[in-house]
A and B are shown apart, each in its own frame.
Chain A
Amino acid sequence: MTAIAQPAATSTRRSLASRIIGRPTRNQDRPLTRVVVHLVLIVASVIAVFPVIRVVGVALRPGDRLLDPNFSLIPPGATLDAFRHVLFDTALLQWLFNSLVITMGTATVGLIFAATSAYAFSRYKFRGRGLGLTILFATQMIPGIMLLVPIFLLAVQFGLVSTYRGLVMAYSVTAIPFSVWILKGYYDTVPIDLEEAARIDGCTEFEAFRKVLLPLSLPALMIVFLFNFLAAWGEFFTANVLIGSREDLLTWALGIQRFQAQFQTQWADLAAASIMISIPVVVLFVWSSKFLVSGLTLGGVKG
């Protein structure tokens, strides 16, 4: 906007753009508005964080005061007993290890399958493309439990119950549709010119994908990996049906249900375990949240 086009009034009044979509060069909100905005955000943040604060408080409580109506982050007589107990006297580390191995494996495989097929859907018009996209979309609609009924019965038939074999394959495949959907949306926003230039420079079709498009799609690939990771990491029902009966194979999601059996005595254990399970995931998630916005929405925005 040039100096001539800008009416003098806007220097004292806030521009419409900054009022609605924000990000003006400086804060033009009136003080009262600013207070209200902060107040709303603080209340919302407290509600979002409250269970976390509670759980920290409970995990640190000494065993005889578990049911105190006390909301402080560090309760009187705070102790790390629950953490020690959970780490050394229960199988939590074993469960976490099992979960980690399954999750890393399946998230990686799901990402590889999705990254390659999303490329085909984004860059080529081949027979069956429309059908493929429809099937990918329809899978998002299918209730997980609807699929779990036949998968369980078939797994019994093929002897895939009480081992990781069925679970790993099921997780790898169920991660594919959503990943393809997100990645295709992202690839669509990357201009094809770059790959064509690479082709002219002598790359094969596949090299153009691997050396040009893949590195450019890193934010979306990371988001998809994160999503696959989180989906498998916190999955309960499939794991419960396929391996729930084998104590040595439990993932943490199944394992912590064991703490609930006698809820009142083990509330501190459950809280301590919850914190240890959540911290790495939350750090990963919050760290990647700046990719989250672009990785998730770019595909939709272009329309």
Chain B
Amino acid sequence: MFNFQQAASALGEVIGTLAFMAAIVALLEGVLYLVLVRWRHVRLALPLMLVAPAALGLIVFYIYPLLWELNVSFTKMSLRNFVIPGFLGLGEGKDNLFVGLQNYVNVFTGTVLKETTFWQLLLQTVIWTVVNVTLHVTGGIGLALLLNRHIHGRNIYRALLILPWAIPSLISLQIWRTEYNQQFGAVNQILGLFGIGAVPWLSDRFWNFVAMIITNVWLGIPFMMVITLGGLQSISREYYEAAEIDGANGRQAFRSITLPLLRPVLIPAILLGTFLTFNNIAVPFFINQNQLETSDILVTGLYRAAFQFSRYGFAAAFAFTIFAVLLIFTIFYIRRTNALKGAYE
């Protein structure tokens, strides 16, 4: 039932927090105005003042926590040693949490979870990311090409095909999870119609991973479809008309006109899609319900290490190792594709 008193206190707390943030921003802008405009007469005062609130937010909620986490990664902080560590956790006697690079060594040599190693999680994450992104992109481009034709009911198809993206993913994940039930779930019942026996989607390590991929492909195709559709609509018809005069056939035109002109749209979208897939914790977490360790990818392993096993120091080191993996990939990808060329202009 609805409790008005609780609702009022929730509303008050949120408004109070927003007012607090507004006050901080007003203070910041006031100081910047006095310093930049009144005192130093800086010519580009406006952009600095516009960026300042966001910059402060990012410093407080990204940069400071990450530096703090880096510090924690050199300590043995955990639920048993729940001391907020100072610099490198150095301290006297029992308060001395400093363990040097031991956590990083443990990430690579020991087990990250109960029995799963870092290398196994890495392999699973790579398979997970490559399979998902490949299917997202091919499925998205395929559907976008079909939707971009002159067909009846285009808008209806588009609205229906966008649904997996529109439904809150927490909801659709709950639905998928129940549909994978070996006995009562719809997936096995439909497979049964084709004479295929019940698949143990939730209990078998291989099939559970397949179930995660099926679900995430279902979730991710609409995003790529919408992006591709936008890209297709920006391609001028004149290119194709010119190609036709030159005698090109459909496949040649697709390879030499459509794909190259989709590149500026697709390259950043694929990079973003890779981040979203690599960092996707919700799908493995909810499809697997934290049961099979073999279905974990790196980020769900990190969640367990931090919030289930409460090994904070180890989890921090693990987090920076994961970040390094992603960073190496990103630098390689950007070098190869020049993905961010337009953004810095």
* A139-176 with Cβ < 8 A to chain B: 139-154, 157, 163-165, 168-170, 172-174, 176
Contact with A along B183-200 (1 / 0, CB 8 A): 010100100000000000
* A1-57 with Cβ < 8 A to chain B: 1, 10, 15-24, 26-29, 34, 37-38, 40-41, 44-45, 47-52, 54-55
A147 to B62, CA, bound (A): 7
Contact with B along A280-301 (1 / 0, CB 8 A): 0110011001001110111111
Q: List 23 A-B contacts (CB under 8 A).
A: A1-B241, A16-B249, A21-B232, A22-B145, A37-B146, A48-B218, A52-B167, A102-B14, A130-B344, A137-B343, A143-B302, A145-B319, A150-B66, A150-B316, A154-B68, A173-B60, A181-B343, A184-B343, A234-B171, A236-B170, A274-B174, A285-B166, A300-B231
The residue on A at minimum CB distance from B238 is A17
Quick check: which of B106-114, B129-137, B205-213, B323-331 contacts chain A, the rest being far away? B323-331
> B35 contacts the other chain (Cβ, under 8 Å)?
no
- Chain B residues with CB under 8 Å of A149's CB are 69, 72, 302, 306, 312, 315-316, 319
> A75 contacts the other chain (Cβ, under 8 Å)?
no
A22 to B151, CA, bound (A): 9
Given A172-B21, A173-B57, A278-B167, A51 and B145 contact (CB-CB distance below 8 Å) = no
- Chain B residues with CB under 8 Å of A299's CB are 342
What's the interface size class on B, roughly?
35 or more
Binding site for A on B (CB under 8 A): 1-3, 6-7, 10-11, 13-18, 20-21, 44, 46-48, 50-51, 53-55, 57-58, 60-63, 65-66, 68-69, 72, 77, 84, 143, 145-152, 157-172, 174-176, 178-179, 184, 186, 189, 218, 222, 226-227, 229-235, 237, 239-241, 243-244, 248-250, 253-254, 257-258, 264-265, 268-269, 272, 275, 278-279, 281-282, 298-299, 302-303, 306-307, 312, 315-316, 319-320, 322-323, 326-327, 330, 340-345
A126 to B48, CA, bound (A): 8
- Chain A residues with CB under 8 Å of B15's CB are 105
- Chain B residues with CB under 8 Å of A105's CB are 14-15, 17-18
A181 to B342, CA, bound (A): 12
- Chain B residues with CB under 8 Å of A205's CB are 46
Binding site for B on A (CB under 8 A): 1, 10, 15-24, 26-29, 34, 37-38, 40-41, 44-45, 47-52, 54-55, 67, 69, 71, 88-89, 91, 93-94, 97-98, 101-102, 105, 109, 113-114, 116-117, 119-121, 123-124, 126, 130, 132-133, 135-137, 139-154, 157, 163-165, 168-170, 172-174, 176-177, 180-181, 184-185, 188, 205-206, 230, 233-234, 236-237, 241, 248-249, 253, 256, 260, 263, 267, 270-271, 274, 277-278, 281-282, 285-286, 289, 292-294, 296-303
Judge whether A151 and B61 touch: CB under 8 Å. Answer: yes
- From A114, A123, A126, A150, B68 is in contact (CB under 8 Å) with A150
Residue of A153, A206, A298 with most partner-chain B CB within 10 A: A153
- From B66, B175, B229, A142 is in contact (CB under 8 Å) with B66
- From B1, B230, B302, A294 is in contact (CB under 8 Å) with B230
Judge whether B233 and A293 touch: CB under 8 Å. Answer: yes
CB distance from B36 to the nearest CB of A (A): 11
- From A26, A140, A206, A300, B265 is in contact (CB under 8 Å) with A300
- Chain A residues with CB under 8 Å of B14's CB are 101-102, 105, 164, 168
The residue on B at minimum CB distance from A288 is B166
Given A51-B179, A153-B312, A113 and B53 contact (CB-CB distance below 8 Å) = yes
Judge whether A114 and B54 touch: CB under 8 Å. Answer: yes
In the complex, the 7 A-B pairs of residues with the closest C-beta atoms, listed nearest first:
A297-B230, A17-B240, A120-B47, A285-B166, A150-B65, A22-B149, A303-B342
CB distance from B70 to the nearest CB of A (A): 9
- Chain B residues with CB under 8 Å of A282's CB are 163, 166-167
Judge whether B58 and A286 touch: CB under 8 Å. Answer: no
Known: A91-B1, A282-B166. 11 other contacts (CB 8 A): A18-B150, A48-B218, A101-B11, A105-B14, A109-B21, A133-B343, A141-B330, A146-B69, A154-B68, A168-B17, A176-B54
- From A116, A144, A153, A184, B281 is in contact (CB under 8 Å) with A144
- From A29, A38, A286, B150 is in contact (CB under 8 Å) with A29
- Chain A residues with CB under 8 Å of B278's CB are 143
The residue on B at minimum CB distance from A14 is B250
